[in-house]
Amino acid sequence: MPATAISPTRAEDYPEWYQQVVRAADLAEQSPVRGCMVIKPHGYAIWEQMHGILDRMFKATGHRNAYFPLFIPVSYLEQEAKHVEGFAKECAVVTHHRLELSPDGKLIPTGKLEEPLVVRPTSETIIGAMYAKWIQSWRDLPVLINQWANVVRWEMRPRVFLRTAEFLWQEGHTAHATREEAVEETLRMIDVYATFAERDLAMPVIKGPKPSGERFPGAVDTYSIEAMMQDGKALQAGTSHFLGQNFAKGQGIKFQNSAGVEEFCWTTSWGVSTRLIGAVIMIHSDDDGLVLPPRIAPQHVVLLPIARNDEERTQVLDACRMLERDLATQTFADAPVRALVDARDIRGGDKVWQHVKQGVPLRVEIGPRDLTAGTVSLSRRDRGPKERETVPLGEFAARVPAILAEIQQAVFDRARAFRDARTVHLDSAAAVIDYFSAAETDNSRAGFAWVHVADDPAVMEMLDPLKVTVRCIPMEGNDAPGTCIVTGKPVSGRSVLARAY
Amino acid sequence: MPATAISPTRAEDYPEWYQQVVRAADLAEQSPVRGCMVIKPHGYAIWEQMHGILDRMFKATGHRNAYFPLFIPVSYLEQEAKHVEGFAKECAVVTHHRLELSPDGKLIPTGKLEEPLVVRPTSETIIGAMYAKWIQSWRDLPVLINQWANVVRWEMRPRVFLRTAEFLWQEGHTAHATREEAVEETLRMIDVYATFAERDLAMPVIKGPKPSGERFPGAVDTYSIEAMMQDGKALQAGTSHFLGQNFAKGQGIKFQNSAGVEEFCWTTSWGVSTRLIGAVIMIHSDDDGLVLPPRIAPQHVVLLPIARNDEERTQVLDACRMLERDLATQTFADAPVRALVDARDIRGGDKVWQHVKQGVPLRVEIGPRDLTAGTVSLSRRDRGPKERETVPLGEFAARVPAILAEIQQAVFDRARAFRDARTVHLDSAAAVIDYFSAAETDNSRAGFAWVHVADDPAVMEMLDPLKVTVRCIPMEGNDAPGTCIVTGKPVSGRSVLARAY
């Protein structure tokens, strides 16, 4: 048995450790297509869990799903100048609609399109064009639609889950009669994301508006949730944008109000992506591989029969199947407990390590001695790989929901304790420069700095050489006004500064 | 109240009736992007029902989901010659990865790719390339993976749901150690589709292999399920392909067998798409709009409060909410009954007609007189829009599952009776020519002809001018051998001939 299953360890080389966890857990890999990943079954199963929970939350808040075209005419992007600057730079452009076989067996693009099409990097423009058709009267509002889709943003330095040319996401797009309603929706959805992150992903997040330089191109306000990874860097885990009337004006999304007067709609958009899988890996995993919060684990429990001969095998397998059935009647997070019997005929040690590396929250070994003693041997993924607990066979199934809830809480608490230990409050430009410079040479000192800064270019200028950005202005626990450490301007609260993914 | 909600009727102009049903039910519409549709919330909700049922069936048969890249390098298509002929002709080709703003505000494609990328028309080639990496030993087999994705096939004459440039589908891709296992998988999946079509979509289908000229490009055998639409035309509702070792050889998908000898894998692929929504519309709907089989209806029951003043409104709305709660405790098709209270403040007649046109299986009106009498007034979508049934309020919720099951059966029976009435057995070339020529002038005579034909080019030549194809060779109810009406060759059973979508 190796000292740790993953080499290098987090402390030795965090970026390489991340790649090795992805590989060891068999989550995804780079495809032969530049920048595009293949999400393998275990990785996709995690996305299915996330999708299922979020989809129920979106529907519970009144949204319906729809599907809009993959392609966007280039002219649509030209309409929204700010948006173009942000998105039109690196995207996949379709210019032809046919291939013809040349005499030497090569396929040559033919059938040139009159107008090139962009593979959607995000769908504000195409969805906005439809809303302009659909919305006529105040009676048609609000429009509350979400889309689950793939999007493409050409990436020069791809990194699996975190930054890939193609990724999966959901994008909500809503239109409202009033500014107030649209702002309320924007805040409602960042709250949905924060609840999902903390409750389901066990990922403590800081929620708040971004400074102007970090907003979504074309947005009036962008709210984000920011989580701290185990290298002290921030990861933006979800965003919700109040678009004001900017997109509505660019695209002619208008309605007649109840007084018969024509007005522009107020719109929002909000999204999370498969990047969340990368965040979950980076925030919870350890030097033995993936650690999954039980609420999004495709399997909660793996049952491992241990036997030396066929007679024993039949006995322990029967016991495992019985437990599997018992577990299916137990409920965790409003769904049946998901258990799997791994009866594959491979070395027991390899099998155990595979489930450790894949992050199954609870491993249960059952051998002939356990059956004689009437016990099972439990191992929790949030504890050391050799720690075991013995539980009476008859009590086991009923105790599983509580154990899963404990693990869920334990991984959350650990992530929060880590973040708290890596968070500082700084009150001068010199202190900020010192802090992030020291972190550059000693990664164990990297983290979040809560600092009074104004939304001002001078702040960006100071932070830029440090490769630090203002992540957001926390909406909670942030009631101490102060003066900007760069401009001296009064500000209502601190901002969170960090290096970020 | 109009004579029928949809104009023209099916009899007057079937293709236009179809477009009008799609519009009246608010399912989808053409987007500004040529050939691409927008699937609106009601249409997408039907797809979600189909997705959910199929996904459970795939998982119950041992499959897992994964996700592969949207883009396929052109060189991958060049490897598989037959496949290229079938697919490489009309597809979206990405040639650039950047847009730059010209001085006159136009976006110009730049960053030319070294190798053009095709937007997947189907994923055999890219998935095969991954399987070639993943599979080494017989221990790695079988690989049973499904993907839910969007695909693009450039269409010159798009038709919403039936033939669109972009559509949503699932594609299963499996690799096996033996021919027998791969054939078994191919048949298992066409059975899954047939069960889904008949049980859930209430769509009687004919299942069987296709003649060589109608196979998937590169397949050894293609099995399809074929359904009859209300204009007597066939619609291919799902296919399952036995690919033999063709793709494995083209892509190097090899494994070491247990004797240590290297062999090529045997592969399959199978898929259904959003085309199924078009099939459901065309097979069940009537001149009042969409008719949905309850098992895939996003809402089973709509509760319509009827009131003339605020006091009445409070009373009937309370009663509706109570029924909604009662219905949620009832089970239909292994899930809670899906009920919706429509309390919108619009004209009652408009509201009723909207739900008729949208195909809600069961409408329930509740007014003050019903409350006094202790009854509710039911209308079933499979019956005339004015037919009503009165049911005691206290019994209603408990009776709904049985009523939904009755509706499910009734729409299936109606579709099967229609198909049976439009099916003939023909025994000469002259009879076939007569039958399909007559159908051309009188659509009410169009249908399926069961005919003895060989898998021979001479048969195609005869059928081509009639715009008729061999749909499949039915695997059930087809045990009478005979001789081909064109070539005189002996054949083991009849084939189904029809015009098709």
Query: Residue A88's pLDDT is what?
Result: 60
**8 Å CB contact of A67 and B119:** no
Res. B87 pLDDT band, cuts 50 70 90: low
Cβ atoms of B478 and B448 within 8 Å: the answer is no
Test A107 with B77 for CB contact under 8 angstroms: yes
pLDDT at A7: 94
Give the confidence band of A87 by pLDDT, cuts at 50, 70, 90: low
Q: Which residues in chain A touch residue B37, judged by CB atoms under 8 angstroms apart? A: 69
In this complex, is the C-beta atom of A51 within 8 Å of any C-beta atom belonging to chain B?
Answer: no
B78 vs A contacts (CB less than 8 Å): 105-107
Q: How confident is the model at residue B6 (pLDDT cuts 50, 70, 90)?
A: very high
What is the Cα–Cα distance from B90 to B158, expressed in whole angstroms? 13
B1 pLDDT more than 60: no
**Coil, helix or strand at residue B147:** strand
Cα separation, A200 vs A235, whole angstroms: 17
Task: Give B301's strand partners.
Answer: B339, B362
Q: Residue A83 above 70 pLDDT? A: no
**C-alpha distance from A106 to closest chain B C-alpha (Å):** 7
Q: For residue A96, give the nearest of B73, B93, B149 by CB distance.
A: B93
Q: List domains and CATH numbers for chain A.
A: 14-284 (3.30.930.10), 299-403 (3.40.50.800), 423-498 (3.30.110.30)
Tell me the mean pLDDT in the region B65-81. Answer: 90
CA distances from A364 to A305, A361, A392 (A): 8, 10, 12
User: Residue with structure tokens 């000693």?
Assistant: A442
Interface A-B, measured as beta-carbon pairs within 8 A, has a size of 187
Model confidence over A278-333: pLDDT tens digits? 999 999 999 999 999 999 999 999 999 999 999 999 999 999 999 999 999 999 99
**Mean of pLDDT over chain B:** 95
Q: Give mean pLDDT, residues A49-78.
A: 96
The predicted pLDDT at position B345 comes to 83
Region B376-394 average pLDDT: 93
B36 to A109: CB separation less than 8 angstroms, yes or no: no
Q: How would residue A385 be classed by pLDDT, with cut points 50, 70 and 90?
A: confident
Class of residue B254 by CB neighbours under 10 A (exposed 0-12, middle 13-18, buried 19+) = middle
B219 close to A (CB below 8 A): no
Q: Which helix (H) or strand (E) holds A375?
A: strand A375-380
Instruction: With CB atoms and an 8 Å threshold, state whether B41 touches A64.
Output: yes
SS3 of B50-94: HHHHHHHHHHHCCCEECECCCEEEHHHHHCCHHHHHHHCCCCCEE
For residues A136-142, average pLDDT: 96
Length of chain B: 501
| Mutant choice from B54, B93, B101, B150 vs A, greatest count of A C-beta within 10 A | B93
Mean pLDDT of B251-272: 97
| pLDDT attached to residue B81 | 66
Contact: B78, A48; criterion CB under 8 Å: no
Per-residue pLDDT, A157: 87
How crowded is residue A430: how many other Cβ atoms within 10 Å of its Cβ?
Answer: 10
Q: Does A94 touch chain B (CB under 8 A)?
A: yes
Bridge partners for B94 per DSSP: A94, B117
CB contact under 8 A, B107 and A88: yes
Kindly report, residue by residue over A324-373, the tens digit of the pLDDT.
Answer: 999 999 999 999 999 999 999 888 889 999 999 999 999 999 999 999 99
ipTM above 0.90, yes or no: yes
**Cβ–Cβ of A168/B92 closer than 8 Å?**
no
Q: A65 and B84 in contact by Cβ < 8 A?
A: no
> What mean pLDDT is predicted for residues B420-439?
97
- Residues of chain A with C-beta less than 8 angstroms from the C-beta of B33: 69, 71-73, 117, 126
pLDDT confidence of residue A78: 83
Contacts of A141 by beta carbon, 8 Å cutoff, 6+ apart: A135, A175, A176, A177, A255, A265
| Average of per-residue pLDDT across B345-359 | 91
Residue of B nearest to A45 (CA): B65
- Residue owning tokens 């070294």: B114
The answer, for A317 touching chain B at a CB cutoff of 8 Å, is no
Using CA atoms in the order B156, A92, A170, A414, what is the torsion angle rounded to 10 degrees?
Answer: 160
Q: Does A46 touch chain B (CB under 8 A)?
A: no
A186 in Cβ contact with A178 (< 8 Å): no
Confidence of residue B3 (pLDDT cuts 50, 70, 90): confident
User: What whole-number distance in Å separates Cα of residue A33 and Cα of residue B119?
Assistant: 12
Residues on chain A touching B109 (C-beta within 8 angstroms) = 74, 93, 95, 116
Output the pLDDT for position B86: 65
Average pLDDT over residues A115-134: 96
The chain A residue lying nearest B110, using CA atoms, is: A93
Residue B166 near chain A (CB below 8 Å) = yes
What confidence score (pLDDT) does residue B101 get? 85
Question: What is the structure's pLDDT at A348?
Answer: 80
* CA distances (Å), origin B371, targets A90, A344, B304, B327, B368: 63, 61, 13, 18, 5
| A213 contact partners, CB below 8 Å, separation of at least 6 | A455, A457, A460, A470
B71-81 average pLDDT score: 86
For chain B, what percent of residues have pLDDT higher than 70? 98
Task: Inform me whether the pLDDT recorded for A1 exceeds 60.
Answer: no
A-chain residues near B43 (CB < 8 A):
66
In this predicted structure, the answer to whether residue B348 has a pLDDT above a threshold of 90 is no
Answer whether A445 touches B (CB < 8 Å). no
Range in A21-25, B80-84, B110-114 the model is least confident about: B80-84
- Determine the straight-line distance between the first and last CA of chain A, rounded to whole angstroms: 34
Bond prior to B32 in cis (omega within 30° of 0): no
Average pLDDT of every residue of chain A: 95
Check if B129 contacts A (Cβ < 8 Å). yes
Torsion angle of C-alpha atoms B200, B203, B207, B211, degrees rounded to 10: -130
One-letter identity of residue B238: G
CA distances from A475 to A209, A226, A273, A486 (A): 8, 12, 23, 22
The pLDDT of residue B170 is above 80: yes
Question: Considering just the CA atoms, what is the radius of gyration of chain B in Å?
Answer: 26
* Cα pseudo-dihedral A158, A163, A166, A171, rounded to 10: -170
Task: Determine the pLDDT at residue B84.
Answer: 67
B137 has a chain A CB within 8 A of its CB = no
Residues 453-472 of A with CB under 8 A from B: none
Residues B412-419, mean pLDDT to the nearest whole number: 98
Give the closest-approach CA distance of A127 to chain B in angstroms.
9
In degrees, rounded to 5, the angle at the alpha carbon of residue B133 between the alpha carbons of residues B171 and B51 is: 20
Q: Note whether A95 contacts B95, CB cutoff 8 Å.
A: yes
Percentage of chain A with pLDDT > 70?
98
B169 in contact with A, Cβ within 8 Å: no
What pLDDT is stored for residue B2 in this prediction? 58
CA of B156 vs chain A CAs: smallest distance (Å): 10
> How much is the pTM?
0.97
pLDDT score at A105 = 80
Residue B12 pLDDT level (bands cut at 50, 70, 90): very high
On the question of pLDDT at A86 being above 80, the answer is no
- For residue B106, list chain A residues with Cβ-Cβ distance below 8 A: 78
Q: What is the pLDDT of residues B134-169, one digit of tens each?
A: 999 999 999 999 999 999 999 878 999 999 999 999
CB contact (8 A) between residue A106 and residue B78: yes
Q: Among partner residues B45, B71, B100, which is closest to A64 by beta-carbon distance? A: B45
Residue with token string 């030549």: B461
Q: How large a percentage of chain B has pLDDT more than 90?
A: 89
List the single residue in B32, B47, B72 with the smallest CB-CB distance to A129: B32
Mean predicted confidence (pLDDT) in B53-67: 98
3-state SS, residue A439? helix
Asked whether residue A276 carries a pLDDT value surpassing 80, the answer given is: yes
The answer to whether residue A102 scores a pLDDT higher than 90 is no
Q: Residue window 13-42, chain B: list those with CB within 8 Å of chain A.
A: 31-33, 36-41
- A70–B150 CB contact, under 8 Å: yes
Q: Give contacts of B 251-310 with A, CB under 8 A.
A: none
Chain A residues lying within 8 Å of B94, measured CB to CB = 92-95, 119
Which pLDDT belongs to residue B253?
A: 98
Helix (H, G, I), strand (E, B) or coil at B241: strand
- Report whether pLDDT(A168) > 70: yes
C-alpha to C-alpha distance for B239 and B237, rounded to whole angstroms: 7
Lowest mean pLDDT among A383-392, B178-187, B489-498: A383-392
Tens of pLDDT, residues B19-32: 999 999 999 999 99
